[in-house]
A and B are shown apart, each in its own frame.
Chain A
């Protein structure tokens, strides 16, 4: 089974600060890590390989230093890493990013499953996974919390809902975005780390993946960021004091005003 995992390198959210003037992330000096949601995608890819055999290829679009994220993925059990990197990709929104990744996946060739984290911790859009499947014209199941089985060219998965879950059967090839409930990612192994150290990361430019210049980077991105702002802090709730019975009566009155 050929499995492709798409990942993103993001600033480590535990120490992210917001520039109070521009309202954007201060990225200088912030350590880059694999998007936490993507670590579940990597783990699931490796587990599917262990269950069904095959190979896991991990792909990212990003600056040259994103190579580190790919090497980390290899230390966690992925077989091969592909870095799609080109200055022409700068300014990509989710549309251009998912187009770019889909072109890279087409270049990889035959595949059975594409796995993405449900969203990135920096942008939080949850659009790239579904975008890739649309560009590839394959079925997608988002918020997958369990892969029950894959056989006879069909995959049966559990899709997390607010209350409970759906069981979805889909033909393969298909794309999953996964939630953190799906597994608990392993730590790297020493042999994996050594394999990662000597692993050769494949690097592809916009030309290599035959990307349409009008569909990538800023030009290929219909999204315009109009304004970024920090939402005002929420006001504290109203505290009622007194005897319990009085408070209960007061709450009923308040609820009448607010809700009804």
Chain B
């Protein structure tokens, strides 16, 4: 059996509907499945996202403005349904955030048959 494209797109839409924000943190330690949140969240970085779609695909677009949560070196990122669930945790090399730049993050989710 195979999930049809329309079915996969519906699952994509259900997931999209339960993503409202993303956030960043300063801890770059390794990611494990058992974790439930960022390891060192910067609360002010929790901001609304926009989502663009194509077949079987959600692209989450997040911007941390130059006016918000500056003075930190960010090393982790998460896509969330605020107050309900943290979907993922991604770590990366330290990125300093100052008043001169926005930080822009683009994350892709893809839904498919095995």
Asked if A and B are interacting partners, one says no
